[in-house]
Amino acid sequence: DQQVKQNSPSLSVQEGRISILNCDYTNSMFDYFLWYKKYPAEGPTFLISISSIKDKNEDGRFTVFLNKSAKHLSLHIVPSQPGDSAVYFCAASANNQGGKLIFGQGTELSVKP
């Protein structure tokens, strides 16, 4: 039962353009969502998060949007840079589950110069 889904395994974007990574979830108990970036042979790096009481959170070039009615969130990266090339994971947690994160399968972003 995949509670968090990233339906696009890969995404290719030109440098300077916008990258949009999508994530869907099924569990209505999820109330906190996070995005992580991962390079091979390294641990995930925390990027940005959003609480279910908000619909948008920004941090520099990264913006996360949450649509609770659609159970959908997205990560926008503007402008995209070659150094952004990595695998991006969305994750979700429920308040009554403490620090248990449920991860999507990841989307590999390639930013071409």
Q: Where on the chain is the footprint of other proteins (CB under 8 A)? A: 32, 34, 36, 41-46, 49, 89, 91, 93, 95, 97-106
* Chain centroid, CA 112 distance in Å: 20
Distance (Å, whole) CA 31 – CA 53:
8
Least distance to other proteins, CB of residue 38, Å = 9
When the beta carbons of 65 and 103 are compared against other proteins, the nearer one is: 103
When the beta carbons of 75 and 104 are compared against other proteins, the nearer one is: 104
Distance (Å, whole) CA 11 – CA 87:
10
Least distance to other proteins, CB of residue 96, Å = 10
Distance (Å, whole) CA 42 – CA 56:
28
Least distance to other proteins, CB of residue 17, Å = 28
Distance (Å, whole) CA 100 – CA 91:
10
